Structure 1
Amino acid sequence: MREIIASGIMVHERPFSIVDDDIFMWAFEYANPNFRRVSRKTARSDCLQLYEAEKNTLKKILNNVSKVSITTDMWKSSHQVVEYMVVTGHFVDASWNLEKRVLNFIKAPPPRRGTDIANAIFKCLRGWGIENKIFSVTVENASYNDSCVRSLKENMSLSSKLVLDGQLFHVRCCAHILNLLVQDGLNTIKDVIHNVRESVKFINSSDARLKSFHEVVELKGLKERKLILDCPTRWNSTFLMLCTASKFKHAFSDYNEKEPHYKYAPSFEDWDKIEKVCKLLEVFNDVTHVISGSDYPTSNLYLAEIQRVKKVIDNAAECFDMFMRDMAKPMKAKFDKYWGECNLLMSIACVLDPRMKLNGIKITFPLLYKTPSDVEKNVEKVKNALQDLYLDYVNLYSQDATSTSGHSEVNVESSTLVDGGQQMDKGMQELLSMVYQSQSIPLTKSELETYLEENLFVPSSTSSFCALAWWKNNSPKFKVLSKMASDILCRRKSH
């Protein structure tokens, strides 16, 4: 019972004084006649004890994890006027389960300096014993985050080698970039959005106005009954507000004639703009759901969704409608700013989807980049990065690589046993190393080569396919490559 009380206090952010509430305690006494009330001091002690127990359990889990990707996000306490940076760890555990765990809340009052935040994050990681296991850091596009990640990268590179020399370390949050693109687009109709928002506020402000509006809606034979007010800082709620309001567009004009105090009715030209914006933002809404939704857990899906965004922006930019071209222009500039250069992590994750492999980037890159030479350059860039990353993992897991039947890697630097169980002489090791390096054809195919040369995997149902599950099932065959895939595919979402 005491553990339940402690859990309830922490989950719902209740003060310890809640244990003084007679009705709250009566519920526990009713459920268990042997229950005895606890004091605030005891409740606090139970919370700390439960926290330490859970922390030790998570430490044991993290101790058996090879790589952890972290995300940072700003949270504001509902009980305090204080902002915190939450640090979340994303990793695949020993059972191939995708895990997301909050590691710490860092008090980050403005003005925020990148080096201070980096030091606080590094202290947090060291407290969990994972400072040498960080694969990537996903952050929003705030200026202090750039200096924070630079400082964090320098600190970590001093004590351990970052994978691919740190090229995958800094990851910009896809959901946040999409938000920036949409905000640029919505800015072109900010006056129209203001009128819709004020219209919804006006109608919903009293029962009399709501009843009067519903009478107009019924006379028009419209099925929609409820107007939705948005949260201005959340574009998807603004999108939902506009989509819902557009279904009432004929009712608004009649209501404007009926209600003398109503001054915010959008014109028919405004409604035309709203419908065009909603059609474009529908794609953004779907993509955000894929990237941020819990139903789509791995990063191999990101590149396909980003090319959808690029396609819809390009179509709007080339539209004969001047309004659509003006709206798409700032969105296109923002897209090129953040995704104009090849995103290695996203691209490698696409290649590690067994349904696509290299075909994924060969098909999407012509849609993302302007010229054939840019496409070819970026395809080669991904291939080289993929090979270099794989070699990093071979060095990390050389014992697993050499034990893979039929897919062994040459690793002459490891301690090799020869006749009589004696260790191979260093001279022989050096000679064999030169012999192997002089061979133009490798002695055996690597796991990466084998994976890329095999036929594409065609699942029976694409809706239920999980790339992480595929790699789990094929981990006996691809012992090293599967470890690399689990670290790459691990979702990095800060929202």
Structure 2
Amino acid sequence: MVITGHWIDTQWRLQKRVLNSVHVPPPRLGIAIADAIYKCMLDWGIETKIYTVSVDNASNNDTALRCLKDTFSRNKCLLAKEKLFHVRYCAHILNLMVQDGLSEIQEIIHDIRASVEFVNKIEGRRLIFGEIVYQLRLPEKVLIYDYKTRWNSTYEMLACALKFHEVFPRFKDRESSYTFCPSTEDWEKVKKVCSILGVFWNATHIISGSDYLTANLYLNEVCRIKMLLDSKANDEDNFIQLMVWKMKMKFDKYWGECNLMMSIAAILDPRLKIRVINYCFPLIYPLYEVQANINKVRQALYDLYVEYVEVHVSSSRDSGPSCQIVTNDPVSKSSSSSSSTMTHVTGMCEFLSHIATVEPVQPEKNELDIYFEDGLLTAMEKSSLDIVNLDALKWWKSTTKYKILPKMAADILAIPVSTVVFEATFSARTRVLDSYRASLAPETVEMLMCAGDWCRKLHGVKKRDKAFFDYDHALVGVYVGLLSVDGLLVVVAFTQLLKKCQGSEMC
């Protein structure tokens, strides 16, 4: 289990780091997961700073989060009355929806996957396939494989194969052993399915970013998916209707109830504000639930703001200004008048301290009301900003109008809504559990995964260069040997390697 931390640093930059790679032995009960997460927080000394925990939708994770909520609530007061503590990954929900939909064309997918494997398996077949492609003057050249466990990879395989749908029948005429060529009707079904999956694919790519905010993009993508499903629910093709019906069932299961996190995060985007739920909710929820859900989000947002105000006032009071009075009145120096002077000064200090802490955070209108009344950022005249690609975090950093809302926005917008970040940790190398690593101890894997993530971030390395594949594997034995002597030496090994390969974008 990889535990990754996400936060906004003091320079208002979105940060994420692998905090630990924990071996959780079977049967991986929820309480064991909760204990592993909490131990990791204790090791880092951040058990009182946890705002949310984001996981996928496994039942043991639900149990783990219930245990953690109780534990963390004893250490600190979880904001929003603990309503934002458990975040379910949007990308995982999309995956569940798509898998239900793809079950309607499993036989077709099997034939296309087998066709791709059949063509690519032997060089002679690839040459025959390539000749047909050349004769038809098709721009595409290569068929791609898919990972059976990743629907987005399956979609890419189908979309690619669809471009060669005219080639496969001609290839069949030249290869007698090719017996699973999809029919014309099959390709029509694939075309319709890809038109639906394309929207899911785009949404997944948008919300799966790890180097930019995703929480504020969540609601709009969910709304777009709901509009697509509604438009296809009455499709003339019965198999599309059945496919969409299954996906809508899954949609209602996870998003049928108002999601406070995705709504509040969207509202804290200056391009959207409160109008985003006025637009999206009628498209997502039944009409009789729309207003109730809008009121629910507004109430939760104001309750959350009040909690931030209380925290701000408390911190201001704890670090309140000291009061010193300097006077030129010679009488104040006499011992006979010192008592009355001190009484007067103390009373004034109490009043000034009260004004300093209360007046800035309790204006006639609170910051939320002012934020909403200012209008959307898109409505501002002569704006030189790129509204479509606006970085909401930079906007909150630069604004000087608010004192409390920026802190609230930073905490909410830092929440990730995708599980791809964690999957990418295991995909950092082409072969994670190959013959070189299969016998590594859990502690060794933890050191390698954590050190690699922190060192790559330190040196700005993002992508792996295939040219360094063999060089990288040759050094694995060096890492393991160093770890057996001193675990800290692995950091030195990674750092020296990355310094040499900094220009190559090696990962």
TM-score band by shorter chain is 0.7 to 0.9
The yes-or-no answer on 1:467 pairing with 2:383 is no
Alignment of 1:234-273 (within 5 A): 234-273=150-189
> How many Å separate the matches in 1 of 2:96 and 2:35?
28
The yes-or-no answer on 1:388 pairing with 2:303 is yes
The yes-or-no answer on 1:367 pairing with 2:287 is no
The yes-or-no answer on 1:232 pairing with 2:119 is no
Deviation of the 1:317 alpha carbon: 1.2
Counterpart secondary structure, 2:81? helix
Alignment of 1:158-169 (within 5 A): 158-169=74-85
* From 360, 368, 372, the counterpart of 1:448: 368
Deviation of the 1:293 alpha carbon: 2.4
Counterpart secondary structure, 2:22? strand
Deviation of the 1:296 alpha carbon: 4.2
> How many Å separate the matches in 2 of 1:488 and 1:191?
43
The yes-or-no answer on 1:477 pairing with 2:393 is no
For residues 177-197 of structure 1, give each alpha carbon's deviation from its aligned partner in whole angstroms, at most 9, with x where no partner exists. Answer: 111111111111000000000
* From 258, 263, 271, the counterpart of 1:342: 258
Alignment of 1:410-421 (within 5 A): 420-421=345-346
Deviation of the 1:485 alpha carbon: 0.3
For residues 332-376 of structure 1, give each alpha carbon's deviation from its aligned partner in whole angstroms, at most 9, with x where no partner exists. Answer: 0001100111110110011111111110000000000012x3000
The yes-or-no answer on 1:198 pairing with 2:118 is no
CA contact (8 A) 1:290 1:296 kept: no
Q: Which amino acid aligns with 1:87?
A: I
Deviation of the 1:217 alpha carbon: 1.9
Alignment of 1:64-75 (within 5 A): none
Are the structure 2 counterparts of residues 341 and 453 from structure 1 closer, same or farther at C-alpha, using a change threshold of 3 Å? same
Report the RMSD for the aligned CA atoms in angstroms. Answer: 2.3
The yes-or-no answer on 1:304 pairing with 2:228 is no
Name the structure 1 match of 2:377. Answer: 457
Are the structure 2 counterparts of residues 286 and 419 from structure 1 closer, same or farther at C-alpha, using a change threshold of 3 Å? farther
Name the structure 2 match of 1:123. Answer: 39
Name the structure 2 match of 1:413. Answer: none
CA contact (8 A) 2:111 2:180 kept: yes
CA contact (8 A) 2:216 2:269 kept: yes
Deviation of the 1:423 alpha carbon: 8.1
The count of corresponding residues between Structure 1 and Structure 2 is 384
The yes-or-no answer on 1:316 pairing with 2:240 is no
Q: Which amino acid aligns with 2:373?
A: E
The yes-or-no answer on 1:172 pairing with 2:88 is yes
> How many Å separate the matches in 2 of 1:491 and 1:156?
17
For residues 54-104 of structure 1, give each alpha carbon's deviation from its aligned partner in whole angstroms, at most 9, with x where no partner exists. Answer: xxxxxxxxxxxxxxxxxxxxxxxxxxxxxxx01111000111010001111
Deviation of the 1:324 alpha carbon: 1.0
Deviation of the 1:138 alpha carbon: 0.5
For residues 154-205 of structure 1, give each alpha carbon's deviation from its aligned partner in whole angstroms, at most 9, with x where no partner exists. Answer: 1111121100111000000011111111111111100000000000000101
Counterpart secondary structure, 1:168? coil
Alignment of 1:133-152 (within 5 A): 133-152=49-68
Are the structure 2 counterparts of residues 390 and 88 from structure 1 closer, same or farther at C-alpha, using a change threshold of 3 Å? same
Report runs of 4+ in structure 1 exceeding 3 Å deviation: 399-403, 421-426
Counterpart secondary structure, 1:464? coil
Deviation of the 1:220 alpha carbon: 2.4
CA contact (8 A) 2:52 2:84 kept: yes
TM-score, normalised via structure 2 length? 0.72
> How many Å separate the matches in 1 of 2:258 and 2:166?
46
The yes-or-no answer on 1:490 pairing with 2:414 is yes
> How many Å separate the matches in 1 of 2:278 and 2:349?
45
Q: Which amino acid aligns with 2:285?
A: Y
Name the structure 2 match of 1:407. Answer: none
Counterpart secondary structure, 2:251? helix
* From 243, 246, 266, the counterpart of 1:327: 243
Deviation of the 1:455 alpha carbon: 2.0
Q: Work out which structure has the larger RCO, using CA pairs closer than 8 Å and 6 or more positions apart in sequence.
A: 2
Are the structure 2 counterparts of residues 480 and 401 from structure 1 closer, same or farther at C-alpha, using a change threshold of 3 Å? farther
> How many Å separate the matches in 1 of 2:363 and 2:51?
31
> How many Å separate the matches in 1 of 2:245 and 2:278?
26
Deviation of the 1:443 alpha carbon: 6.0
